[in-house]
């Protein structure tokens, strides 16, 4: 019930607590015989150093903060799984910070820093200049995950969403499709803006008129809107910024008797499990979101072991994506 302290281990092993500490932190500095004895006792007693004390004394907590907006978005959860797995590999522990709005992220930032983490994995799609300022003052490295930073020295692991949207649009044009609809949401997510940009570029290049629909985040409202749209026009292709919106659109089309993919092709963005459970199965730009989390954490560990005085700066790392061709396209 009372946790074993380093003193207990030292006592039982007949060494000083400094030696026990060294066995844990700099084993190469301890004679093998001593080390083995201490390790045995540590195991016997199930000793684990108190994280607070260790963090306070060493200024390294082997903990990183993961700052995300709303964890229940399925892509966020999967990304965290990637982070967690990499963290485990490198011996880091996670402190989770979830913020609803970007304004609250500023308040939260103080807590993040005070929690004395060794680094931060940061996800935010609605950056403000004040937030940038805060991040730039961070006493530890910050790496963006699947979101876009506009500042030098503050980068992260992500996809080139503009390119991805451009290429898939281009591909659909090359396949002979003329009317390609782009469905976005009202939110000002920078990654979604990149997708829109890529789409527009591809359309313009081919002298086609962009057809952009802004949908709600709510499924029920979407459905009404999609009914209206499909009552007026059936595009060759509908591409949505999120899988769930694409599926919602596809379902409404099916209900109206429109054949997918024969009359209408539908493309999503992300490749969540929704895409495999839809009927027909959704073609989408597959974002390796697990890998993004995983790589971001690995990258952060590199920055954290920088012994320099200064805080290591992060740069953008662009990760490859691919296209999962399924039944909603032909």
Q: Which residues bind DNA (CB under 7 A)?
A: 3-7, 14-22, 24-26, 29-31, 33-35, 47, 49-50, 53-54, 56-60
Q: How far is the CB of 31 from DNA (least distance, A)?
A: 3
> CB under 5 to 8 A by kind: which of DNA, a second copy, none does 328 bind?
none
Q: To the nearest whole angstrom, how small is the minimum distance from the Cβ of residue 45 to a second copy?
A: 11
Residues 6+ apart with CB under 8 A from 260: 250, 253, 254, 266, 280, 327, 328
Tell me whether residue 51 or residue 212 sits nearer to a second copy (CB atom): 51
Q: 318 vs 49, 158, 181, 193, 236, CA distance in Å?
A: 38, 5, 27, 17, 31
Q: Where along the sequence are the contacts to a second copy (CB under 8 A)?
A: 1-3, 46, 48-53, 55-56, 61, 63, 66, 70-74, 76-78, 80-81, 84-85, 88, 93-98, 110-111, 113-116, 137, 139, 219, 244, 247-248, 251, 254-255, 273-274, 276-279, 290, 311
**Residue 277 binds: one of DNA, a second copy, none (C-beta under 5 to 8 A by kind):** a second copy
How many helices and strands in the chain, by DSSP H and E?
A: 13, 12
Long-range pairs, 98-102, Cβ under 8 A, ≥24: 98/67, 98/68, 98/69, 98/70, 98/71, 99/67, 99/68, 99/69, 100/69, 100/70, 101/69, 102/69, 102/126, 102/127, 102/128, 102/131
Residue closer to DNA by CB (options 2, 129) is 2
139 binds, among a second copy, DNA, none (CB under 5 to 8 A by kind): a second copy
Q: Rank residues 98 and 208 by Cβ distance to a second copy and give the closer one.
A: 98
Q: How far is the CB of 45 from DNA (least distance, A)?
A: 11
Q: Which does 106 bind (CB under 5 to 8 A by kind): DNA, a second copy, none?
A: none
Task: Give the strands of the sheet with 211-215, arranged side by side.
Answer: 211-215, 180-185, 237-240, 265-270, 283-286, 322-324
- Nearer to DNA by Cβ, of 29 and 256: the residue is 29
* Structure letter (DSSP) for residue 127: -
Q: How far is the CB of 189 from DNA (least distance, A)?
A: 36
What's the rounded Cα separation, in Å, for the pair 129 and 150? Answer: 10
* β-sheet bridge partners, residue 203: none
24 binds, among a second copy, DNA, none (CB under 5 to 8 A by kind): DNA
Instruction: Compare residues 35 and 60 and give the one whose CB is closer to a second copy.
Output: 60
Q: Are 159 and 146 in contact (CB under 8 A)?
A: yes
217 binds, among DNA, a second copy, none (CB under 5 to 8 A by kind): none
- Yes or no: say if 142 and 316 are a contact pair by the CB < 8 Å rule: no
Measured CA to CA, the distance from residue 49 to residue 23 in angstroms comes to 12
Q: Are 157 and 299 in contact (CB under 8 A)?
A: yes
Nearest approach, Cβ of 250 to a second copy (angstroms)? 8
| Contacts with 34 (C-beta within 8 Å, 6 or more apart), sequence order | 15, 19, 23
Taking the least distance from each CB to DNA, the nearer of 15 and 239 is: 15
In this complex, which beta carbon is closest to DNA, that of residue 29 or of residue 40? 29
Shortest separation between residue 274's beta carbon and a second copy, angstroms: 6
- Residue 12: CB minimum distance to DNA, A: 13
Q: Among residues 279 and 306, whose Cβ is nearest to a second copy?
A: 279
């Amino acid at each position: 019930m009372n946790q074993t302290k380093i003193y207990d281990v030292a006592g039982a092993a007949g060494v000083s607590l400094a030696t026990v500490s060294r066995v844990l932190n700099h084993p190469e500095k301890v004679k093998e015989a001593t080390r083995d004895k201490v390790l045995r006792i540590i195991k016997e007693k199930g000793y684990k150093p108190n994280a607070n004390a260790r963090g306070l004394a060493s200024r390294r907590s082997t903990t990183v903060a993961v700052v995300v907006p709303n964890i229940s978005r399925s892509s966020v959860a999967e990304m965290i799984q990637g982070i967690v797995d990499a963290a485990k590999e490198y011996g880091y522990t996670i402190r989770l910070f979830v913020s609803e709005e970007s304004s609250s992220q500023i308040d939260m930032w103080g807590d993040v820093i005070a929690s004395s983490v060794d680094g931060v994995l940061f996800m935010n799609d609605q950056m403000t200049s004040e937030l940038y300022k805060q991040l730039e003052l961070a006493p530890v490295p910050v790496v963006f995950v699947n979101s876009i930073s506009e500042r030098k020295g503050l980068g992260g692991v992500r996809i080139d969403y503009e390119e991805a949207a451009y290429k898939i649009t281009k591909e659909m044009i090359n396949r002979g499709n003329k009317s390609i609809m782009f469905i976005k949401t009202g939110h000002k997510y920078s990654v979604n803006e990149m997708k829109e940009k890529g789409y527009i570029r591809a359309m313009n290049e081919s002298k086609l008129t962009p057809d952009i629909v802004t949908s709600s985040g709510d499924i029920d409202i979407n459905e009404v809107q999609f009914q209206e749209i499909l009552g007026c026009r059936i595009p060759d292709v509908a591409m949505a910024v999120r899988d769930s919106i694409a599926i919602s659109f596809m379902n409404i089309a099916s209900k109206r008797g429109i054949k997918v993919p024969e009359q209408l092709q539908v493309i999503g963005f992300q490749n969540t499990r929704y895409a495999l459970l839809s009927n027909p199965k959704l073609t989408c730009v597959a974002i390796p979101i697990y890998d993004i989390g995983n790589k971001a954490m690995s990258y952060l560990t590199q920055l954290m072991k920088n012994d320099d005085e200064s805080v290591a700066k992060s740069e953008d790392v662009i990760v490859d994506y691919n296209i999962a061709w399924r039944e909603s396209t032909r």
